[in-house]
């Protein structure tokens, strides 16, 4: 039962963690460098892709629909290009970091893996 809960609620947990990190940053509370600079980059794609999948499921009235891997890769590439290439060239607030790109793709792979695992788990019941 606890495994089902993890698969079902990872999205809420990820949102909570991202919100806590963002709040600490806004309050100028020191965080370890890894958390400060990179955790939200990993969490970004699972959160974004979950929301996209939720919307598509509602639009198509298909609660079992899963986003295909090529689409996940295109969306992740779009985020990578926008946040790590375009914005750093146009806004001083942003810096380009290839580790962030790797973390976007790791987050996307996590989303892909966990959503497939959820689908298999619920198909067995």
Domain boundaries, the chain: 2-123
Question: By CB neighbour count within 10 A (0-12 exposed, 13-18 middle, 19+ buried), where does 32 fall?
Answer: exposed
Say how many C-beta atoms besides its own lie within 10 A of residue 106's C-beta: 15
The structure's pTM equals 0.89
Predicted confidence (pLDDT) per residue in 34-60, tens digit:
999 999 999 999 999 999 999 999 999
**CA–CA separation, 119 vs 116, rounded Å?**
5
Q: Name the DSSP letter for residue 36.
A: I
Stated length of the chain: 125
């Amino acid at each position: 039962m606890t495994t089902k809960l993890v698969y079902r609620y990872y999205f809420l947990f990820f949102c909570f963690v991202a919100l806590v990190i963002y709040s600490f940053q806004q309050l100028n509370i020191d965080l370890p460098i890894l958390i400060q600079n990179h955790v939200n980059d990993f969490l970004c794609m699972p959160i974004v892709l979950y929301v996209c999948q939720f919307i598509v499921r509602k639009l198509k009235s298909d609660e079992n629909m899963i986003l295909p891997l090529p689409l996940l890769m295109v969306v992740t590439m779009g985020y990578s290009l926008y946040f790590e290439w375009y914005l750093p060239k146009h806004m001083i607030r942003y810096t380009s970091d290839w580790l962030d790109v790797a973390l976007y793709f790791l987050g996307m792979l996590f989303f892909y893996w966990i959503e497939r695992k959820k689908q298999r788990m619920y198909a067995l019941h």
